[in-house]
Structure 1
């Protein structure tokens, strides 16, 4: 079966090559390659979910995925943390855990992506099987448990890619202005890179693991994320408590700020939270974020709850975090609450259940400045990225918005 999938991937690459031979129009080449991917991606569903995941990473690492050369619509351009994003659509952490395919994945046309979660020491994660599809619901349940090759392996890969990525950035953030039509936008394939940090299962002092991650990997990151919300590492979610989170963030910020940074300054620091939090939990997190001037929050990770519409479905009873379409409402409700609690002063990334431009638009209207995909990308493959960007641009134009930032949080006012 692996051979069948790899053969299909190779055929897709040949189709794209044929398009190149037949035309010199780069836009046509991109269109052909994304169209070809629609026929290849269903083959992955014939495989075990984790095996399909591994093959997808290998395909991206070897350039056997479409490459976006078409510029993003100007209405999708935005500047966040002094960094230029050609579009607000990102790939969430968990897909490329060990930074094996950064160039290939960003080349698909994401505005940004996250690698990780990365742990200081390599660890296998939880026993297999640990990933389950709920195809009728567009959902996935996983209990990977921070399987990671470790910080040094990731640092080696990111270090090798770092110079190449910097050269590929066509326009530095300092010279690109939101809405200025006279200045060229960043290329769609020069997206930004986030590094998501985790802790080893056996580590008792969680802070030391996150600090080690900062010291080793922050030099390669456009932004950093503290993941304290995976449901698959025992005790991790306790770090979301007010005192624990405040202590952790203060020490991680200190570790980041003691390093030497150039004109661009240190990478922004974000925290990724769970959707399974009480109103008081959310208020506490908002208070910490505002007090310590956190750069952002990612809302949200997977849920340990099971919405009514998935109960009784095959694999729904499996232990682990649920992602995909059933998570959309829960994560969006938490997003809206957090936008109100932080009074719009903290940049929020909306994650959970996005499978269309309308979904992304609803996240933005609920307070997100940026959004992330995971399960939708796993099910649909590369073709989802240009489709969502096109649909999102149409949503903004339909409602009279001239930029992403004009739409952020409008449903919360």
Structure 2
């Protein structure tokens, strides 16, 4: 077949081949594309309105949260008196567990900046200011030792409005204290019985904690530790706060024989050596009813030797101004001869003052109104240990007046600085605080009153005092 003939046949069959290879499709007329619709101005207004609502809700939530924060961190809040203490008593039956829970809560809240604090400016009225040991205190209300046994929360306690915070009691070596249970509530009397036995983590650990606290403070204000110790920072070395002082209570170890006077003195001297650098006041505890032989130290001669040893060691503290020394005495040593013996020991040893008093072993007169005690409360009062609560107040008031009179009648009492008295025992309100102050005390201290009255107790007491002045 010639090439020309082949090309002719292929040309005639090409449309068929193209159709088989690529079928033709029916072309449909296409619709015109719908024009894009844009939001109208009315839709934009709706979106803007939703944004405004969200902003309003967010603002309201923020305001609510701030108001809640402001409320619950105010010591005057209703919950701190009428909700938290009853809840603790109800849901934490063991009083010691409740104590630990409260301390832990205050420590954590303080670290987070969520702790209760005194917001009532009137509570810091200059009318409550008083001079103690050359410190101008913002107010004469203190918190007694036992609440903060190991100096874990002194700053959180100062935030509650106290002019004085006493931490401890601290022993030279760590000790567990007495077997549990060892704390018992008597709610109908707003009282407690405890036989803790001076459980303590020891002087070394407390010294480290107080040293670290001081260093953190120095760093926060841009000065050195030595500048604070030397007084150049303008705040008391112990409290680190103007208008406040920190007292550190010291005691002997339970295992130290009460018959070995030198060993006992060595216990107190060791605590002094480790802790005096960080305290405004050292408190020598010779009155705990739960440490064997401790109250025997209140006899004149052994007490004089012990206090003199502490005063001497405190005087050697590497500080520009030495810490003051006080002795904490028992309310059960209430005979004139006993009071006179303690006063003589204070005079001879050079101690600066006395804290009157402590818990009592006695059970008579604790229920003067004849309140009906439950079986559990009756059992609590029968427990071995020291009682604390409002029923102690009349005894405290009487002892303050007697100690003041006895101190002021000593030879040479009118010369030099007057011996200072702090009162503790049964004080729960501003009226009682004023009574002990008028009887001769410089500071009124509370502990059990806070257990039942909550963290707003000090603010409330100061307000009551101002109303009565």
User: Which range, TM-score by smaller chain?
Assistant: 0.7 to 0.9
1:126 aligns with 2:178: yes
- Find the partner of 1:293 among 347, 350, 367: 350
Taking the aligned partners of 2:363 and 2:170, their CA distance within structure 1 comes to 27
**Displacement, 1:258?**
2.2
**Displacement, 1:164?**
4.5
Taking the aligned partners of 2:233 and 2:279, their CA distance within structure 1 comes to 17
**Displacement, 1:22?**
4.3
SS in 1 for 2:101: helix
Tell me how many residue pairs correspond in the alignment: 365
Aligned to 1:387: 460
Taking the aligned partners of 1:241 and 1:32, their CA distance within structure 2 comes to 42
SS in 1 for 2:355: strand
RMSD of aligned alpha carbons: 2.7
**Displacement, 1:372?**
0.7
| Structure 1 residues 23-42: aligned runs within 5 Å | 31=74, 34-38=77-81, 39-42=83-86
Structure 1's 379 and 192: CA in aligned 2 closer, same or farther, altered over 3 A? same
1:252 aligns with 2:252: no
Aligned to 1:237: 295
Aligned to 2:189: 137
Aligned to 2:447: 374
Taking the aligned partners of 2:350 and 2:205, their CA distance within structure 1 comes to 31
Q: Note the alpha carbon deviations across 1:82-130, whole angstroms, 9 max, x for none.
A: 1121111111001110111112111111111111000011111001111
1:86 aligns with 2:138: yes
**Displacement, 1:198?**
0.8
Aligned to 2:385: 320
1:61 aligns with 2:107: yes
Structure 1 spans left out of the alignment, 5+ residues: 1-16, 177-185, 398-413
Taking the aligned partners of 1:337 and 1:174, their CA distance within structure 2 comes to 39
Aligned to 2:248: 195
**Displacement, 1:307?**
2.7
Q: Is contact 1:107-1:190 (8 Å) kept?
A: no
Structure 2 spans left out of the alignment, 5+ residues: 1-61, 222-227, 258-262
1:346 aligns with 2:391: no
TM-score (norm 1): 0.82
1:281 aligns with 2:338: yes
SS in 1 for 2:322: coil
- Find the partner of 2:208 among 147, 156, 161: 156
Structure 1's 173 and 130: CA in aligned 2 closer, same or farther, altered over 3 A? farther
Q: Note the alpha carbon deviations across 1:115-161, whole angstroms, 9 max, x for none.
A: 10000111110011110111111111100000001111111111111
Larger Rg: 2
Higher mean C-alpha displacement, 308-317 vs 236-245: 308-317
**Displacement, 1:382?**
0.6
Aligned to 1:5: none
SS in 1 for 2:403: helix
Q: Is contact 2:72-2:79 (8 Å) kept?
A: no
- Find the partner of 1:224 among 258, 266, 282: 282
Structure 1's 32 and 216: CA in aligned 2 closer, same or farther, altered over 3 A? closer
**Displacement, 1:67?**
1.4
**Displacement, 1:293?**
3.1
